[in-house]
A = this chain, B = another copy of it.
Amino acid sequence: MNFLSDNTYYIVIIIEYGDNLMDVRDLLKQKGLRITPQREAIYRLLAASKAHPTAEWVYQEVKNIFPSISFNTVYKTVQAFEESGLLQRFNTGANIYHYDANVRPHPHVICLSCGRVDDLDEFPDSLEDFISKASMSSPYLIKLVNLHFYGYCPQCGDSNPKIKS
């Protein structure tokens, strides 16, 4: 087992590969994107995260696996992923882009205090209905919808006396 102790971080990759190696590589291939270790890692990180990461966050995380990776690679990769429909990009209002591997339209809740972004899973209806309803009442040809709720997350709400009212 001593080869493991020399390259501990390889263990993580191997475990993840065991789960769904084919899925990620096939996904990239389907979209006509070249398969590189960096791209696999970036997609895995985004697919596994529920935190709606920023490019900077992805960069910091993927550096644990590829210490020599550059921000540019991360940036161009998520850009390529978004153009291929593998990611969704949005902006909560702080002028920072967030990425989401869940590309179906779905609502988000954003904390006004700490800025974290969560999904709003229990929202009554699908947002696809919204798009068609809105299309009928607008001269625009509507394609997408972005529904952001702003408030205070449990942590910030509990710790901030101003909010308790």
Contact = CB atoms under 8 A, between A and B. Distances in A.
A51 interface: no
Contacts of A131: 149
Interface size class of A (residues with CB under 8 A): 35 or more
A138 B109 contact: yes
Nearest to A158: B141
Nearest to A136: B122
Copies in the complex: 2
- Looking at A109, A133, A140, A148, which has the most chain B CB atoms within 10 Å of its CB? A140
Contacts of A138: 109, 118, 120, 122, 149, 151
A70 interface: no
Interface in A122-157: 122-124, 130-131, 133-135, 137-154, 157
A145 B143 contact: no
Interface of A: 89-93, 95, 97, 107, 109, 111-112, 118, 120-124, 130-131, 133-135, 137-154, 157, 163
